[in-house]
Chains A and B, each alone.
Chain A
Amino acid sequence: MFEDLRELYQEVIFDHNRNPRNFRVMENYDRMVEGFNPLCGDRLTLFLKMDGDLITDASFQGSGCAISTASVSLMTEIVKDKTEAQADALFKTFHEMTTGKEEHINLEAVGKLAVLAGVREYPARVKCATLAWHTLDAALKNEQQSISTE
C-alpha cells in the first residue's frame, strides 16, 4: 500500500525508531544542547563527551518522529571517535544529501546515513532529518544551550 514511501521509510529507519541507539542521559557530559523543531514540537537533548577535539561518546534523549529519531540515533553512532573536523565534514555531506540540488552525492562518504537520502523528495520532512545535525553543530561550536530549526 505504501510502495511510494519505501525510499523514505526504509527498514533501518523503523529499526532505529523502535530501538534507538545511545538513548540515555550522559552523566559526565562535556557538551549538552537542546534541539527544538517548533513546527512539529520535536525536542531532543544531545550529550557529548570530548577528549580534546575528539568525540568519545554521544547520546540523546527526547521524542520525535521516526525520521528524526532514526537520524539522531544513527548520528550518535557515526560521530563516536570522530574529530570535530570529521564530524563537521559529515554534517556538510549529510546536509547536501538531504537538501542538495546535486544529482550525484557521494553516499559512501556518509555510510549508514545514506538511508536518510530519501527525505530529499519530502521537503516537509527535511528538518526532521537535519535537527540532530544542527544540534550537533551547536554542541561542537559550544556557543548555545539550545537551538531551533525555525
Chain B
Amino acid sequence: MQKYSVFSLVKNAFTNHENWEVAWKDPEPKKEYDVIIVGGGGHGLATAYYLAKEHGITNVAILEKGWIGGGNVGRNTTILRSNYMFDSNAHFYEFGMKLWETLSQELNYNVMYSPRGIINLAHSDAQMNAYARRGNSMRLNGIDAILLGRDDLKKIIPFADFSETCRFPIHGGLMQPRGGTARHDAVAWGYARQADSMGVDIIQNCEVTGFDVNNGKIEGVQTSRGNIKTKKVGLCVAGSTTLLADMLNMRLPIEAHVLQACVSEPVKPLLHNVVTFGAGHFYCSQSDKGEMVMGGDLDGYNSYAQRGNMPMIQHVLTGGLAVFPNFSRLKMLRTWGGIMDMSMDGSPIIDKTHIEGVYLNCGWCYGGFKATPSSGFVFAHTIAQDQVHELNSDFNLERFHTGKIIDEKGVGPKPWIG
C-alpha cells in the first residue's frame, strides 16, 4: 500500500495526481470466507480492520448493499465524547476517545480529529448540581470534565442569549475538553483502505438477503451477488438490524427511527466548540468549511425512511434560535436523515447470539459515530475469540431479561422520547 505523506503528495503533483493507487479494490466475492461482516458503515469497516490487525484474520469480506459510507457513518454530525456517568459507558467510550487521539497516525489517513471541546448547557441550579455530579463521576473514571459558570460561557460563546428573562437562562455548563468532532467520510475511507491492504474484500452493491443456518449454526449468507459460505457472520447494519434479525428469526429490543440534521451556508469562524442546548432540543458545531452543523431530536415515530419531515426541522431550529439569536439570518444549505437502531435502554448491544457463529452489533441510537473505533475493536475481539471483551460484557442481550439495563438517560423503553 502506498503511504500517504507530504513526499507522496509532492511526487504525485508532478504527474498531475493521475497515478495515485486506488484506495481499496473492487473484488468479486469469493466462494467462502472465514468471517463475513454485513454492512460497510463505520462499525463494519472498523471491525474488519481490527480482525485483520489485532487477530490476524484476513480472509474476511465486508458485504455492503450500497456503497461504503452511504449509511449513518456519512450522515452523522460527527460528535465525539465520553461524557457518560455509568461505568460501562464511561469505560467503553473513553477507550474509544484514546483510539481517536491517535487514529490518523494509525490509519495513515487524516480523520481530522478535532478536540474542540463539547459543552452541555445548564439552565437551573438543579441542573448545575446534576452536571457537577456527572463531571465528578467522569473524573473518577479518568475522563476530563470542567464545570463552567455563566461568566466562563460569556467568554466562550458571547453571541448566545444571556438574558435573565428568557425561558432557559444560561446558568453554566459541563465541558469535556477532549470531546469534539472528526471527518466522518475519512473515518470510513481510512478504515476501508487499511482493511483492504491487509486482505479484506470490500464488496459493494451486495445486499444480504438471507442466511443459511443449520442445526443452530451459521453456514453461509445469501446475497444479491450469490451465496457465500462462512463460519462466522457479524451484523453491523445499524438502522436495518431488525430486517436482518427477522431473516434469522431473532426478535430484538430495537426500534427504527429517523434522525435528521442540517447545515447552514458557510460563514466565518464563530463557534469554536460543540454546544448542546438540550432544553431546546438543539446542538451545533461549525464545520471546517464554516457551515453550522445542527441537529436535535428524532422525528418521533417509527421510520425506515432515510429522510425526515419538516416539523422536526422547524422545532430544532426554533430551539436553536432561542439560544443563538444571531443565527436567524443564516440560510439553510441542506437537511438529511438517517435510520437509527434505537435500543430500548439507549445503550448498544455487542454480543453473541443464540445462533453459533452469528454476532450482533447494534443499538447505537444517535451516538454510534463516536463509538466507531471502540466498537470495531471489541466486536472484532468478540468474533475472533467467540467471547465478549470485558469492555462490551455489559452491552449484552441478556440485560433485557436480567434487568441490568444501562438506561443512562432514564427515559424507559420509549425510544421516540429519548
- Are A and B co-members of a single complex? no
Residues of A within 8 A of B (CB): none
